[in-house]
């Protein structure tokens, strides 16, 4: 979706037999932000449903099936629905959004469930998990480029031959991919994961309480509330990161298409291939980053410091995009080197590896087990806000105004994001010690399980009561 959604929306040749919708760049980027925002909003509901009723594994199967249906709806040719293309487009996006809400938070929570509390391998494991996801993401850009070009057609318009891309073929490939994922999950989940994710977390918590005679619903303890505060504060900084990072599928995608020299000799690199750069860098460097965290051992930076580093690296990436604009010298007919984009995506990916898998791991460390999927959904809620904000920021490039104006606006956007992310990284670095203290041992040399943290709190409370009575 990231690779082709905006390109499909701005394709202006649908009236000549093409397959796009003919929107302006600003409209497409705004819709992209709304769509990706909702994609990260519905996991809040999906996490709650999995915790309370479905269990993570069942939620993943239902969500994956809905996502496949959504992709196949988008893949329906316009000739099947003359005059109703926009209605079917929104129906397809809506089904995708609902399916993703059930799918996304529960996959991540199940990874966390593979490790005991306090296991130092968890951050590295989430990085490897992240690498696995991006193997598919790296292939996607190439697969959809093959699909929409191979199934495209040449049409004659005003005496000229025009090649029309078949975007629906790309959506169809995504639907087939989801079907494969469902088959893999169905046949291998039990063998490889055992009972992880089979039963709702709330039911497991209730059964455990009943077995110990503690059937009363437990309120959040003071330590749990502090740990949730850390998730909330870190969530605010993750908004800043993703609002900049997600320009990749919107503003950077259009910049690649319109203002970048994509030629290597006589070969023109498809725009969507650049969307695979991020995923390729993750596949290559995720094991390196994971091994660095593990090798550092006791000297491993805490989660807030890793987040701060990620924000600074994001800012460096946008310095490369500023360089691309400066190379053009204000001439919109000039083309910037594609190597600026490669540099930007590289530093954005390094920032992502310092922040995104670490954030997922942090949530599983800090969230109370009985609401783990719900808190993962809350984490994705921050990313939802970031995507919508990112769409608004990207749309400032202008509604198909003069190309000179669009270029100047792009420069302002790149510079603004670079400055904001760098300052945010510095602020977070100086907040790190306080945030770690609120984690109450969830990170550090003596990481605490929930039970140990509860025992610690009870001991502190008893001490306070003793002092008060004495």
Q: What percent of the chain has pLDDT over 70?
A: 88
Confidence of residue 452 (pLDDT cuts 50, 70, 90): low
- What pLDDT is stored for residue 208 in this prediction? 67
Q: What is the CATH number of domain 4-212+219-465?
A: 1.20.1250.20
pLDDT in tens, 140-149: 888 888 898 8
Better pLDDT: 458 or 373: 373
Q: Which of 448, 397, 285 is nearest to 351 (CA)?
A: 285
Please state the pTM of the whole predicted model. Answer: 0.75
pLDDT in tens, 213-242: 655 556 778 888 889 999 999 999 999 999
Q: Is residue 162 helix, strand or coil?
A: strand
Q: How far apart are CA 239 and CA 383, in angstroms?
A: 6
> In the chain, where are the structural domains located?
4-212+219-465
Task: Say whether pLDDT at 13 is over 70.
Answer: no
Q: What is the mean pLDDT of the chain?
A: 83
pLDDT in tens, 106-121: 887 788 788 877 777 7
**In the predicted model, what is the mean pLDDT of residues 307-321?**
96
Range from 37-41, 371-375, 442-446 carrying the lowest mean pLDDT:
442-446
Task: Say whether pLDDT at 457 is over 50.
Answer: no
Q: Which of 243, 291, 204, 296 is nearest to 37 (CA)?
A: 243
**In the predicted model, what is the mean pLDDT of residues 356-378?**
81
Q: How far apart are CA 231 and CA 383, in angstroms?
A: 13
**In the predicted model, what is the mean pLDDT of residues 326-354?**
92
Task: Say whether pLDDT at 468 is over 50.
Answer: no
- What pLDDT is stored for residue 310 in this prediction? 95
**In the predicted model, what is the mean pLDDT of residues 5-11?**
85
Q: What percent of the chain has pLDDT over 90?
A: 30
**In the predicted model, what is the mean pLDDT of residues 53-75?**
93
- What pLDDT is stored for residue 425 in this prediction? 96
Greatest mean pLDDT range, 32-46, 60-74, 376-390: 60-74
């Amino acid at each position: 979706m990231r690779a082709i959604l905006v390109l499909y929306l701005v394709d202006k040749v649908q009236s000549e037999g093409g397959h796009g919708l003919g929107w302006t760049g600003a409209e497409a980027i705004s819709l992209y932000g709304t769509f990706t925002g909702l994609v990260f909003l519905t996991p809040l509901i999906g996490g709650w449903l999995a915790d309370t009723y479905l269990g993570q594994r069942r939620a993943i199967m239902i969500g994956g099936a809905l996502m496949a249906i959504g992709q196949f709806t988008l893949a329906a040719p316009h000739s099947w629905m003359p005059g109703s293309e926009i209605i079917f487009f929104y129906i397809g996006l809506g089904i995708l959004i609902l399916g993703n809400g059930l799918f996304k938070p529960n996959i991540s929570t199940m990874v966390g469930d593979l490790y005991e509390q306090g296991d130092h391998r968890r951050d590295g494991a989430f990085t490897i998990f992240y690498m696995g996801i991006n193997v598919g993401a790296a292939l996607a850009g190439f697969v959809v480029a093959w699909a929409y070009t191979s199934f495209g057609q040449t049409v004659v318009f005003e005496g000229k031959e025009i090649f029309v891309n078949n975007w629906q073929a790309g959506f169809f490939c995504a639907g087939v991919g989801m079907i494969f994922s469902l088959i893999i999950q169905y046949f291998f989940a039990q063998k490889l994961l055992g009972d992880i994710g089979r039963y709702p977390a709330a039911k497991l918590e209730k059964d455990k309480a009943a077995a110990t005679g503690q059937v009363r619903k437990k309120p959040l303890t003071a330590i749990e509330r502090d740990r949730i505060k850390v998730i909330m504060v870190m969530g605010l900084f993750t908004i800043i990161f993703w609002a900049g990072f997600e320009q990749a599928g919107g503003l950077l995608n259009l910049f690649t298409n319109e203002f970048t020299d994509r030629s290597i000799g006589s070969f023109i690199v498809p725009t969507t291939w650049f969307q695979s750069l991020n995923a390729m860098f993750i596949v290559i460097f995720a094991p390196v980053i994971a091994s660095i965290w593990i090798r550092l051992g006791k000297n491993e930076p805490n989660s807030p410091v890793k987040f701060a580093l990620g924000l600074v690296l994001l800012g460096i990436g946008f310095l490369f995009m500023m360089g691309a604009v400066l190379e053009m010298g204000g001439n919109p007919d000039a083309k910037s080197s594609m190597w600026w984009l490669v540099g930007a995506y590289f530093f954005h990916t390094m920032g992502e590896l310092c922040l995104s898998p670490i954030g997922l791991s942090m949530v599983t460390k800090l969230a109370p087990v009985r609401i783990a999927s719900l808190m993962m959904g809350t984490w994705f809620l921050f990313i939802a806000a970031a995507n919508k904000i990112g769409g608004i920021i990207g749309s400032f490039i202008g509604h198909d105004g003069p190309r000179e104006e669009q270029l100047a606006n792009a420069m302002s956007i790149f510079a603004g994001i670079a400055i904001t992310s760098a300052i945010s990284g510095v602020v977070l670095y100086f907040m790190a010690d306080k945030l770690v203290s609120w984690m109450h041992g969830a990170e550090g040399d003596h990481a605490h399980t929930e039970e140990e943290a509860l025992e610690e709190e009870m001991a502190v409370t008893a001490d306070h009561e003793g002092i008060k009575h004495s």
